[in-house]
Amino acid sequence: QEAQAVPAAQRGSWTSFLKSIASFSGDLSSLTAPPFILSPTSLTEFPAYWCERPDYFAAIADAKPGRDRALAVLRWFISTLKDQYTSRNEEMGSEKKPLNPVLGEVFYGTWADKNGRGVTELLVEQVSHHPPITAYVIQNKSKGLRLTGHNAQKTSFSCTFSFTSDIVNPLIWSCLAGSIIVKQIGHAVLTVTPTSGGAPENYLITLPRLRIDGLWYGSPYIELTDTSYIIGGGHVSTIEFKGKGYFSGKSHSFKSVTTPLPGQGGQGGPTETIVEGTWHENSKFSKGGAGAFHEVHENKEEVAPFAYADDKGMGEFETRKLWNLVAKGIREGDFELASREKSRIENEQRQMRKDEQAENRSWELRHFTHEASDPIYEQLGRAVKIVPPTEDMYVFKENWPAVFSSAAK
């Protein structure tokens, strides 16, 4: 039962790390993890996962309003999950602990115009450090598409396995083979504005729960659980996530049911559309349609970040500039460099907070304003009696920096 993926020299610190998460719940980002599990990427880069299939995103605008569009939104949503939740395993061998963004950290990037689908642009800002909260906007102006949202996480530890071989602290030891449960806090709203004029349409998207397994062996990976909703365009899609052995015996399974909202969008079509499959591979219709529904194709397109070296006025808070040496240290196995640089960044942050306090001012967000409740969430969420009934939101100030070509205009 050795943790094979853990380098021999780091086994002790991996076990202590597991003990600390087993006896802890809340904000995992604050825990110190052994070097082998560190990722050189900050969480501010994660919102880019929403659009690594820009063709599926653009297709939403081309779909007919009503059921067709609700299914196009669902298809795009499902097609983002592989990148969101399995790409670190593919690229780095397992899930890793991302860099914990500092307050005010930004990430700007773009997906080029291809096949006439228009430019898609991404703007991310870390709007809170403690707890970590990331806000973002993704926009394809020529298609009239905009996704805005924010996310935070609440983590807890679940004991799935029990053995009491350790006499000193059986409770803690018996939990080491457990899973981390990550409840995602926050939501996203997709707005489709018809380019021909007409009222914009909103889709509320809620986020699944994560279970991080494989901890004991030092090779964590994510399984999705629970339910996500997509509500809008007169329809509700209820997406249920299950692991191995529920729907199909396969991991990463899901089943989605799309129904028209009472009094809206009925239009003589099928009343219920059911789609089943695996979100990282493909799915097909099992009701209300026939054949393939989605397929995760090979040509994923990573966002092209605006290079900080080009001096585009992003300053010290551009994520890759800020974390440059920490990331270098992690990539090259120079953990002394990584931890020295990380401490430097953290100390600078602490000093900034102290100075603010001393001068009786607070940090001002660059691109967002915080609102206590989100009327779109409340209104659309009512259709599924959403819990909680309201959530806060970050409203984009519409201040696209000059580097953005189309969105700013």
Total length of the chain: 409
Q: CA-CA distance, 137 to 371, in Å (whole number)?
A: 16
SS3 content of the chain, % helix, strand, coil (to 5): 30, 30, 40
Question: What residues from 301 to 340 belong to the interface with ligand CLR (CB under 6 A)?
Answer: none
Structure tokens at 216: 């004991």
**Nearest distance, CB of residue 50 and ligand CLR, angstroms:** 7
**Nearest distance, CB of residue 339 and ligand CLR, angstroms:** 17
Neighbours of 114 (CB within 10 A): 14
Q: Give yes or no for residue 153 binding ligand CLR (CB under 6 A).
A: yes
Residue 3 or 71: the one with the smaller Cβ distance to ligand CLR is 3
Taking CB under 6 A as the criterion, the residue among 3, 22, 29, 396 binding ligand CLR is 29
Structure tokens at 89: 């395993």
Residue 97 or 250: the one with the smaller Cβ distance to ligand CLR is 97
Q: Give yes or no for residue 111 binding ligand CLR (CB under 6 A).
A: no
Residues 6+ apart with CB under 8 A from 386: 206, 229, 377
Burial of 229 (0-12, 13-18, 19+ CB in 10 A): buried
Structure tokens at 109: 């990037």
DSSP state of 169: -
Q: CA-CA distance, 218 to 198, in Å (whole number)?
A: 53
**For ligand CLR, which stretch binds (CB under 6 A), given 29-37, 240-248, 331-339, 397-405?**
29-37
Taking CB under 6 A as the criterion, the residue among 19, 97, 114, 284 binding ligand CLR is 97
Longest CA–CA separation in the chain, Å: 71
**Nearest distance, CB of residue 46 and ligand CLR, angstroms:** 4
Q: Give yes or no for residue 224 binding ligand CLR (CB under 6 A).
A: no
Paired residues of 145 in beta bridges: 140, 192
**Nearest distance, CB of residue 28 and ligand CLR, angstroms:** 4
**Nearest distance, CB of residue 98 and ligand CLR, angstroms:** 6
Question: What residues from 154 to 213 belong to the interface with ligand CLR (CB under 6 A)?
Answer: 182, 184, 210, 212
Q: Which residues bind ligand CLR (CB under 6 A)?
A: 28-29, 33, 37, 43, 46, 49, 84-85, 95-98, 151, 153, 182, 184, 210, 212, 220
